[in-house]
Structure 1
Amino acid sequence: MNPLGKPGIRGWLFIRGLAGTCGLACLFYSVTKLPLADATVVFFLGPTFTAILASIALGESFTFFDGVCASMCMFGVVLVSKPPFLFGPQEGALVDEASDLGRLFAIFCALLGAIMSAISYVTVRKIGKGAHFMVHVVYFGAIASILSPVGLLLLQEYTPLESLKDYGIMFVIGLSAFVGQCLLNQGLQLAPAGPATLMRMNDVAFAFLIDIFIFHQFPDIFSVLGASIIVFMTTALGLHKWYMHTTAHRPSA
């Protein structure tokens, strides 16, 4: 197995690695500025953007039902983000309360991360089984290793790790991300879109549980309602895609 992949698909592998790196960076930023549940919910608009992008880049169908689901997901994002011109100034936010633009920018980063993840998913579908799933991880890791120090130097002051606990946490983050990338790439290659979407939605439930029981941050009614709309509509969109795919490939009697 060539770790660089076949010559004809290396450009797609580079795009996949670059989009994945940018998407994960946007997610990490939004997580540091927003409650974990809010950032995770917005980031998991990825399947919705994937459906839209796949219809453009891969020629997959995008029906009126898919459009309704996508529109409702955007409404859910409005409820989660709670823009001040609709909901008034927010209290208790993790961002600087002197400016509500901080929360909106963090939401924008989570949305941008969702778009980047959609680009990653579409490129994985484009490549298909033309590359081993570990080749995707090689490109992702290599590009992230190059861009992360550059971004660290340009976007903020260097903050050294101060204890073995900090190093241990960073190691766990890196190991978890590596295992997650391996399983994600193989799952995208093997699993139908519907069940895969359902499995990914578990992240939202875990994010809310971690927020409540570990960080002791309790979501308000708008976040819960917005998250419920996004999860339900994203799941419906994924199942509809799965149904359309299985119907189209069902052998005729």
Structure 2
Amino acid sequence: MGQDMEPQQDYRGRTVAFMVGATGLYAATSLLAKAIGTGVLGPALPPLMVSLGRFAFALCGVLVVVAILRPGLSRQGGTGPRWSTHLGRTVCGWVGISLMFAAVARMPLPDATAISFLSPAFTMMLAIPLLGERVGPIRWTAAAIALIGAVILLRPGQALQPAAALALGAAAAMGLEAIFIKRLTRREPPLQIMLVNNSMGTVIALAAAALIWVTPNAAQGLALLAIGLLMAGAQMLNLAAMRQSDASFVAPFFYLTLVWAAGFDLWIFGVLPDAVSLAGAAVLVSGAGLLVWRDRQRKGPL
């Protein structure tokens, strides 16, 4: 019993570290997408073009790693990748990120991010029937606290606009995507999941972008490159976290992206968060902290 406890303690600590890093990278990609979609770097690019850059350049980064490591495609039991699950994950991911890019170009970034980050609530609810996970009252409480923080940052009454429906759709798609990711991490190594996902995503995104093609300028091209590489790094950290812990434990940590976004605003643009932003961030961190405390109480120090 004691021998089994120590690895779990280590896994929980690494999971938290992975998610802190992943959310920081996700926030950076949202800021870049906002700049591309609002004309800061030149004529605004359509969201489908931004989605293409996200998948295509992420694929380039993954291919470089694959070329160096040369892993084989495998699955536990030696039967190869589960293609149907990969396809479901990729479609949900492409829909979610495309809707999110469309939302951030049409409404304030904090509002769009807050709405889209209802996705952990979708994930936690779906993890019960689809993954068979048990979600106890403390996890539900932690998720609810984090959700309250998101609502505070949303500033009810100021984001009731059509674009909010885009962010809500993104939340639903990304919540379902997390379920597919968890299923894949039970069977396949992270690098393989990323290779298949970004390959499929590039094909889907290219087919969609071809219908509205707009050639990006040099600055936009560099921003798209950064989005793809940052997203690839975030994916790897997210997959590592999902591989080691329950989806319902990992999901609420995505709310930390809002905290990162506020930090980037202060660092890059010199925008000080107001009292509402500080209150929302404090509630979000409290919700995530409750998850950590709960697992320390059950399994000892991380």
- TM-score surpassing 0.5? yes
Conservation of the 8 A alpha-carbon contact between 1:37 and 1:211: no
Q: Quote the offset at 1:171 in angstroms.
A: 1.3
Ranges in structure 2 where 5+ consecutive residues have no aligned partner: 1-71
Counterpart pick for 1:125 among 182, 185, 209 = 182
Conservation of the 8 A alpha-carbon contact between 1:79 and 1:222: yes
Counterpart pick for 2:167 among 110, 114, 122 = 110
Question: Which position in structure 1 is the counterpart of 2:73?
Answer: 2
Question: Which position in structure 2 is the counterpart of 1:138?
Answer: 195
Question: Which position in structure 1 is the counterpart of 2:88?
Answer: 15
Change (3 A) 1:80 1:150: farther
TM-score (norm 2): 0.60
Change (3 A) 1:29 1:212: farther
* Paired letter, 1:204: L
Conservation of the 8 A alpha-carbon contact between 1:21 and 1:144: yes
Change (3 A) 1:43 1:81: same
Conservation of the 8 A alpha-carbon contact between 1:80 and 1:223: yes
Aligned length: 227
CA distance in 1, matches of 2:265, 2:94: 25
CA distance in 2, matches of 1:126, 1:233: 25
Question: Which position in structure 2 is the counterpart of 1:213?
Answer: 267
Question: Which position in structure 1 is the counterpart of 2:233?
Answer: 179
TM-score (norm 1): 0.70
Q: Quote the offset at 1:131 in angstroms.
A: 1.1
Conservation of the 8 A alpha-carbon contact between 2:73 and 2:80: no
**CA-based RMSD:** 3.6
Conservation of the 8 A alpha-carbon contact between 2:81 and 2:188: no
Counterpart pick for 2:282 among 209, 228, 234 = 228
Aligned ranges 1:1-253 → 2 under 5 Å: 1-2=72-73, 6=79, 9-84=82-157, 90=158, 101-102=161-162, 105-106=163-164, 108-152=165-209, 157-162=212-217, 164-190=218-244, 200=254, 202-237=256-291, 240=294, 242=295, 246=299
Conservation of the 8 A alpha-carbon contact between 2:142 and 2:291: yes
Aligned-residue sequence identity (percent) comes to: 22
Q: Quote the offset at 1:185 in angstroms.
A: 1.6
Change (3 A) 1:243 1:83: same
CA distance in 2, matches of 1:48, 1:244: 23
